[in-house]
């Protein structure tokens, strides 16, 4: 007996080359505000800003598009960062007590941030503990050749900057104590070093401030104490007056003192003046004090700024505020990047590719009317050059938020810029306007504060949260669906309007008996007329009953239809005639969780245990049979060329909780009734693996107002494995996705192939399957190959253009799994193409937030405030392409003649600026920090209120 074996063919080199030209994975840029910022620095010569984070990242920002990121090897918080003036070098101190030197280097005509040296301060054997050598303060000398480190044990150490090597010049407390009067010693240590300041006129002298209150002027060359200042209040910060004849100290009681430096009085007991601005009782500590003097405004780098760049930069924990000090009223400067995406928590997102110029201009116009001063030209941080070409097409990223807002962002390039904010809260009656308490401040309160910034994590009502968004970019229609079953149809208008709220109710239960809704109530719409600003305005409010969160929504503007789904069923609504077309209940008798709503968060433990034991019992009974089947399958695959190994699918129980949840909806003009007549259809997929297909009778545009849309159930498909249906897409005769509404009628896309057989691609959590239409006969399928437990989380159909030829492109099915990897398949053959690791499998939030674009890119949240942007395309890549030119001498000591970036000419009037940090509480509004920060400098000018305490402040 002869036995034949078919040898598996090798990879097709031609096909492999095509795949290389189409697909490539890269994480390209991080959009948004850095998560947990912890340090701030600015180089006034290069006009670059650096932000360090608690996760160990350093982010450099300049002009829009100029961005660089460095990541320390160890995940430790960045506590301090310092620029070496004008050199493109940065020093960072981490909370693990290591010091790192970074450089901006040029590679392939682009600038990158790389680490070149690191250092860890050793202790004195047998004398100093590890905690004693912990660095508390860093002083970078203006000559950029020496770094002084103050420690928790009271020592001061010196490093040579080019190599970060320790010099034999260390100063310890015992040496200082020899010069301190006996009555001041009191047997106590001086405490940690709190501040180091170089003398503005004599670089060989430094001012050393200790926590207990002692301040010492130390001569580096002769190693002796020049002056002692015997302070008794706990010290926080020091700053020189530019002449070097005096300095200011700030303290823990919210006050500051001015000290005179005199050669005739080497030991000073009392300051010239001592002030607690908001005393006489102690206030919050002044953690940092700055003394700026100038004849004509603020200075930066020793040179007057231009009028447009006199700015105050305030880094807070959740946003960056830039205040224009030149303009009357001190308005904030809109940021072209670093936008706080999470000003209210992000609940969903939607990406729109290739936005038409007309729609783009109308959205821009609506946003400008909301914020008339939205001019990015006054942005003061403008170093470096953006080398990236202008984007070929405009892209919008829409984010839905917990407070009921939808925000429109320019996602065309590296800088994610805010364009327009849509609020849905004004449609409903809520408890109160959370801004009333801030806007109704009494006239007698002083100083008069005004809120700036937009970070406000509080929501009046969790029911306002946006769950789903659908947009038609050709007609300007928008559908926004929320947590309380509200589905809001809106249209873009350039004019202000004033009208009543048009409400329609759709009962998805269809009078089903025995069901009691135990969740939250619906949001009551406002009665009376409501004013709508230019932008997206209400057409109709559709309220699902019961008011459960909307889980799916889609829009077909050409047919005037929207479809929406919840955990109870799905509905179809004609928004032109304001009338429901269809309501279908998808509840299973055991869907107990569907009664409770998403805000209850209560699940029956008894039911969960029962289902778990049922699965275990099934697994044991069928285990032996399954093992034999798998062994036979493996033998067959070894002997013959077959498709790649595919994991067996575990059938799911029909009574799984929440089986009625509608996961996806879609409209399509295709063949459902027969193979010769095509027409409008609507498809819905549920958590239990059910797919419902309806044939729609849509009247012509001339008869929209006369005839109503009718829906007839055409097909009902039940997937054998009952896995949740994630996505449904109809493909034309060539296997291409159908065009969007209006694309063909407005000559914006090729007409679909209506001659060949159409097919429907149904993606469940466990497999992809293509059915031929109209018979709904299975054509091909793919069971996802992965480790046990793999589930499909997000899918999309994207178009990939070859990097070799713009004329060649392919459609691909892009799939993200719960393991964080991305798979791509050919369409409609479902042949695996490439696989990439994208998101950590532990990052559940990142996986849930992922959204794909139609051109092969994607976004996902890496923190509550940041999107990671990635590309799957070899051609379409959005990444920073920038250059920062620096003149860096080989010998760092050559910069000894550089002027101070913070000191000014000696013939000017003097002012003092104060700054503190503290807890993130509303009481901080009246804390000494913000009062002292502005009122001592400009006591006669109204101060702007910062909602959160600042981490750091820069004067630019």
SS (H, E, C) 535-590: EEEEEEEEEEECCCCCCEEEEECCCCEEEEECCCEEEEEECCCCEEEEEEECCCCC
Q: Give the pLDDT of residue 920.
A: 36
Asked if residue 247 has pLDDT above 50, the reply is: yes
**1: pLDDT strictly greater than 70:** no
The answer, yes or no, to whether the previous bond of 546 is cis (omega within 30 of 0) is: yes
Closest CA to 670 of 699, 702, 694, 701: 694
The pLDDT tens digits for 163-218 are 899 998 899 988 999 899 888 887 668 999 999 999 999 999 999 999 999 999 99
Give the mean pLDDT of 601-614. 48
Measured distance CA(906)–CA(153) in Å, rounded: 36
- CB neighbour class for 198 (10 Å; exposed up to 12, middle 13-18, buried from 19): buried
| Burial bucket for residue 77 (CB in 10 Å: 0-12, 13-18, 19+) | middle
Lowest-confidence pick of 185-199, 649-663, 767-781, 857-871: 649-663
The Cα–Cα gap between 583 and 506 comes to 7
**Residue 674 in tokens:** 């027969």
- What structural domains and CATH numbers belong to the chain? 37-120 (2.40.10), 131-295 (2.130.10.10)
- Tell me which of 121-125, 455-459, 534-538, 606-610 is least confident: 606-610
Whether the pLDDT of residue 374 is over 80: the answer is: no
Let me know: does 715 contact 443? Beta carbons within 8 Å: no
Contact between residue 222 and residue 206 where contact means Cβ atoms under 8 Å apart: no
Beta bridge partners of 665: 684
Mean pLDDT, the chain, as a whole number? 84
Lowest mean pLDDT among 66-80, 138-152, 612-626, 795-809: 612-626
Residue 892 clears pLDDT 90, i.e. is over it: no
84, 144 Cβ separation under 8 angstroms: yes
> How much is the pLDDT for 162?
84
More confident residue, 276 or 571: 571
Q: Flag whether pLDDT at 895 surpasses 70.
A: no
Tokens of 395: 């892209």
- Cα distance between residue 145 and residue 891, in whole Å: 8
pLDDT tens for 559-588 read: 999 999 999 999 999 999 999 999 999 987
Region 310-329 average pLDDT: 88
**Contact of 496 with 435, CB cutoff 8 Å:** no
* 134 within 8 A of 152, measured Cβ to Cβ: yes
Does residue 337 or residue 302 have the better pLDDT? 337
pLDDT above 50 (res 657): yes
Kindly state the percentage of the chain with pLDDT values over 90: 63
Q: pLDDT category, 311, cuts 50, 70, 90? A: confident
pLDDT value, residue 919: 37
How many residues are there in the chain? 956
pLDDT of residue 510: 83
* Cβ burial, residue 418 (10 Å; 0-12/13-18/19+): buried
With a cut of 60, say whether residue 346 has pLDDT above it.
yes
* DSSP strand pairing (135-140 vs 110-120): unpaired
**pLDDT for residue 490 is more than 50:** yes
Q: What is the pLDDT of residue 189?
A: 84
| pTM of the predicted protein model | 0.84
pLDDT class of 706 with cuts at 50, 70, 90: confident
Phi-psi region of 736 (alpha: psi -120 to 50; beta: other; left: phi over 0): beta
For residues 798-822, average pLDDT: 96
Radius of gyration of the chain from its Cα atoms, rounded to whole angstroms: 33
pLDDT at 862 over 70: yes
Sequential DSSP letters for 481-514: EETTSEEEEEEEESS-EEEEPPEEEEETT-S-TT
Task: Report how far residue 314's alpha carbon sits from residue 929's, in angstroms, rounded to the nearest whole number.
Answer: 12
611-635, pLDDT tens digit by residue? 555 555 555 445 544 444 444 444 3
Q: How far apart are CA 105 and CA 756, in angstroms?
A: 56
Higher pLDDT, 655 or 72: 72
289 — pLDDT class (breaks 50, 70, 90): confident
| pLDDT in the model for residue 649 | 59
Assess whether pLDDT exceeds 60 at residue 58. Answer: yes
* Burial degree of 668 (CB within 10 A; 0-12, 13-18, 19+): buried
Looking at residue 2, its pLDDT comes to: 44
Report the distance separating Cα 718 and Cα 707, nearest Å: 33
pLDDT confidence bin for 514, thresholds 50/70/90 = confident
Alpha-carbon distance of 483 to 270, in angstroms, equals 64
Question: Which of 391-395, 534-538, 638-642, 738-742 shows the lowest mean pLDDT across its residues?
Answer: 638-642
Residue 858 burial (C-beta neighbours within 10 Å; 0-12, 13-18, 19+): buried
Q: Is the dihedral of CA 637, 639, 642, 643 positive or negative?
A: positive
Mean pLDDT on 874-890:
89
Position 240 pLDDT exceeds 90: yes
Measure the CA–CA gap between 219 and 169, rounded to whole angstroms.
11
Q: How far is CA 715 from the centre of its chain?
A: 42
Residues 111 and 384 sit within 8 Å (Cβ to Cβ) = yes
The answer to whether residue 910 scores a pLDDT higher than 50 is no
Please report which confidence band the pLDDT of residue 502 belongs to, taking 50, 70 and 90 as the band edges: very high
Residue keyed to tokens 């694309």: 743
d(CA 405, CA 776): 41
Please give the residue that has the higher pLDDT: either 543 or 262.
543
């Amino acid at each position: 007996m002869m036995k034949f074996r078919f040898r598996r063919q090798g990879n097709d080199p031609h096909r492999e080359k095509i795949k290389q030209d189409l697909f490539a994975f890269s994480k390209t840029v991080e959009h948004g505000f850095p998560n947990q910022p912890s340090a701030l620095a600015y180089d006034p010569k290069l006009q670059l800003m650096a932000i360090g984070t608690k996760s160990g990242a350093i982010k450099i920002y300049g002009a829009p598009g100029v961005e660089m990121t460095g990541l320390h090897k160890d995940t430790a918080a960045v506590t301090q960062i310092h620029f070496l003036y004008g050199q493109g070098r940065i020093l960072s101190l981490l909370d693990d007590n290591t010091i790192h030197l970074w450089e901006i280097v040029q590679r392939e005509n682009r600038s990158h941030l790389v680490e070149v040296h690191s250092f860890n301060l050793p202790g004195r054997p047998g004398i100093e503990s590890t905690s004693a050598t912990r660095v508390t303060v860093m002083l970078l000398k203006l000559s950029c050749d020496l770094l002084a480190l103050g420690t928790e044990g009271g020592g001061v150490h010196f490093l040579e900057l080019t190599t970060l090597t320790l010099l034999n010049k260390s100063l310890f407390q015992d040496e200082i104590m020899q010069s301190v009067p006996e009555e001041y010693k009191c047997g106590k240590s001086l405490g940690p070093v709190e501040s180091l300041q170089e003398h503005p006129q004599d670089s060989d002298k430094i001012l050393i401030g200790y926590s207990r209150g002692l301040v010492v002027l130390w001569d580096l060359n002769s190693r002796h104490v020049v002056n002692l200042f015997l302070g008794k209040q706990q010290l926080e910060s020091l700053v020189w007056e530019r002449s070097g004849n005096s300095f200011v100290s700030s303290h823990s009681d919210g006050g500051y003192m001015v000290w005179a430096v005199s050669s005739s009085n080497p030991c000073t007991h009392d300051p010239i003046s001592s002030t607690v601005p908001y005393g006489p009782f102690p206030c919050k500590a002044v953690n940092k004090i700055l003394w700026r003097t100038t004849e004509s405004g603020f200075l930066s780098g020793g040179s007057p700024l231009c009028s447009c760049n006199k700015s105050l930069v305030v880094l807070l924990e959740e946003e960056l505020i830039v205040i224009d000090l030149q303009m009357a009223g001190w308005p904030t400067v809109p940021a072209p990047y670093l936008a706080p995406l999470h000003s209210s928590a992000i609940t969903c997102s939607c990406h729109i590719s290739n936005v038409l110029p007309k729609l783009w201009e109308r959205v821009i116009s609506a946003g400008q009317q909301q914020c008339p001063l939205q001019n990015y030209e006054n942005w003061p941080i403008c170093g470096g050059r953006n080398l990236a070409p202008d984007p070929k097409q405009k892209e919008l990223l829409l984010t839905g938020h917990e407070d009921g807002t939808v925000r429109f962002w320019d996602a065309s390039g590296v800088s994610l810029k805010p364009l327009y904010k849509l609020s849905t809260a004004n449609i409903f009656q809520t408890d109160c306007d959370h801004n009333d308490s801030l806007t109704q401040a009494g006239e007698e309160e002083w100083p008069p504060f005004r809120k700036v910034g937009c970070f406000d994590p509080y929501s009046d009502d969790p029911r306002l949260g946006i769950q789903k968004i659908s947009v038609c970019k050709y007609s300007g229609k928008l559908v926004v669906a929320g947590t309380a079953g509200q589905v809001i149809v809106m249209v873009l208008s350039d004019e202000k309007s004033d009208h009543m709220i048009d409400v329609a109710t759709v009962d998805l239960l269809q009078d089903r008996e025995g069901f009691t809704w135990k969740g939250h109530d619906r949001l009551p719409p406002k009665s009376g007329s409501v004013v709508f600003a230019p932008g997206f305005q209400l057409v109709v409010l559709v309220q699902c009953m019961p008011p459960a969160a909307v889980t799916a929504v889609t829009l077909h503007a050409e047919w005037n239809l929207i479809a929406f789904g919840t955990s109870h069923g799905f509905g179809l609504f004609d928004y032109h005639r304001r009338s429901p077309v269809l309501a279908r209940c998808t509840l299973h008798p055991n869907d107990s969780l569907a009664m409770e709503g998403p805000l209850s968060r209560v699940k029956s433990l008894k039911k969960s245990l029962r289902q778990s034991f049922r699965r275990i019992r099934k697994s044991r009974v069928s285990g032996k049979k399954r093992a034999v089947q798998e062994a036979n399958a493996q033998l067959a695959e070894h002997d013959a060329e077959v498709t790649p190994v595919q994991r067996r699918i575990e059938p799911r129980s029909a009574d799984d909780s929440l089986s009625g949840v509608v996961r996806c909806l879609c409209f399509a003009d295709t063949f459902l009734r027969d193979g010769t007549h095509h027409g409008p259809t609507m498809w819905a997929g549920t958590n239990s693996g059910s797919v419902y297909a309806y044939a729609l009778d849509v009247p012509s545009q001339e008869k929209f107002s006369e005839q109503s849309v009718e829906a007839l159930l055409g097909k009902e498909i039940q997937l054998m494995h009952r896995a949740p249906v994630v996505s449904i897409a109809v493909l034309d005769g060539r296997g291409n996705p159908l065009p969007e509404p209006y694309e063909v009628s407005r000559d914006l896309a090729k007409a679909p192939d209506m001659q060949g057989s159409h097919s429907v691609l149904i993606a469940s959590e466990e497999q992809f399957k293509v059915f031929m239409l109209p018979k709904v006969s299975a054509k091909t399928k793919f069971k996802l190959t992965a480790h046990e437990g793999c589930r499909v989380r997000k899918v999309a159909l994207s178009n990939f253009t070859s990097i070799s030829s713009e004329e060649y492109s392919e459609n691909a099915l892009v799939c993200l799994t719960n393991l964080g990897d991305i798979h791509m398949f050919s369409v409609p053959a479902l042949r695996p193409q490439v696989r990439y690791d994208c998101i950590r499998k532990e990052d559940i939030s990142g996986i849930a937030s992922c959204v794909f674009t139609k051109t092969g890119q994607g976004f996902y949240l890496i923190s509550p405030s940041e999107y990671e942007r990635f590309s799957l395309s070899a051609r379409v890549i959005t990444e920073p392409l920038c250059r920062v030119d620096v003149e860096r001498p080989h010998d760092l000591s050559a910069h000894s003649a550089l002027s101070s970036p913070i000191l000014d000419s000696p013939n000017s009037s003097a002012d003092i600026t104060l700054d503190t940090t503290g807890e993130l509480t509303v009481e901080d509004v009246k804390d000494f920090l913000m009062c002292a920060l502005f009122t001592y400098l400009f006591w006669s000018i109204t101060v702007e209120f910062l909602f959160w305490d600042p981490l750091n402040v820069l004067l630019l």
